[in-house]
Amino acid sequence: MGMRSWPAPGGGRWIEVEPARVARWVEGFATRHGAPATTGQPYGLLLTAPDGATAALHTPPGAPATPDVTGFAAAATANRRIGLLLARKGGVAVGVADGDKLTVSKVDTRYVQGRTAAGGWSQQRFARRRDNQAKAVLGDAADLAVRLLLPEASTLTALVTGGDRRAIDTVLADRRLAPLAALRADRHLDVPEPRHPVLLAAIPAAHAVHVLVHDPE
């Protein structure tokens, strides 16, 4: 996974850093801006450099909070088990990642009627059919999560979701999944229609460290 960067709403930029490269990234930040002061925050660590630059290191899902960069880097790279739940109207993928290994996985896809340009009753009939198909997919997704993820809940440090937020919300609203909903991380992955390669790619994305950088004014 290469380092990604994208603009942050409200200013600054997000940088996605591989856990193994966090310490090196912080060293580079210090070289560019001066040795920073480090303060603990609810989200992780805030680095404040002498020139005014800041870097907010967000603890990755499932990793414990730590008071310094050394501890943060160690926690980010430590092996942990996380659950993955990816959903869109056309399908769902669930998995358990033990470190970087996918130990439990299942992908369920189903055809959902596409939109039609027809009007009147025909359009309404297709819309109802499409909604019913989408509801069936999400109902199956909840059953799948109950069967594969729920038994693992006590061993997971976090549940990372991805895809359509409304679809995920619908699945996790199932009362049977309350223990999983309680583990849901703030991080939500932007993924296409769930497939096995998409599920595999979600593992490093879930483990990555997100850093919000503001350059000096």
Q: Is 31 exposed, middle or buried (0-12, 13-18, 19+ CB in 10 A)?
A: exposed
Same-domain check for residues 64 and 97: no
**Can you tell me whether residue 48 is helix, strand or coil?**
strand
Same-domain check for residues 106 and 17: no
Same-domain check for residues 72 and 39: yes
Same-domain check for residues 68 and 139: no
Same-domain check for residues 45 and 94: no
Which residue range forms the structural domain that includes residue 124?
Answer: 81-206
Same-domain check for residues 96 and 185: yes
Same-domain check for residues 202 and 103: yes
* Positions in the chain whose pLDDT score sits under 70: 1-2, 110-137, 139
| Cα 51 to the center of its chain, rounded Å | 32
Q: How many domains does the chain have?
A: 2
CA distances from 24 to 29, 39, 204, 215 (A): 9, 19, 18, 19
Same-domain check for residues 18 and 68: yes
Same-domain check for residues 150 and 57: no
The DSSP output letter for 61 is T
Same-domain check for residues 59 and 123: no
pLDDT the model gives residue 140? 83
Rounded distance, CA 62 to CA 65, Å? 9
pLDDT the model gives residue 21? 97
Please provide the DSSP assignment of 170-189 as one string: HHHTSGGGHHHHTTEEEEEE
pLDDT the model gives residue 135? 57
pLDDT the model gives residue 108? 87
CATH number, residue 146: 3.30.420.60
Please state the pTM of the whole predicted model.
0.86
Same-domain check for residues 36 and 98: no
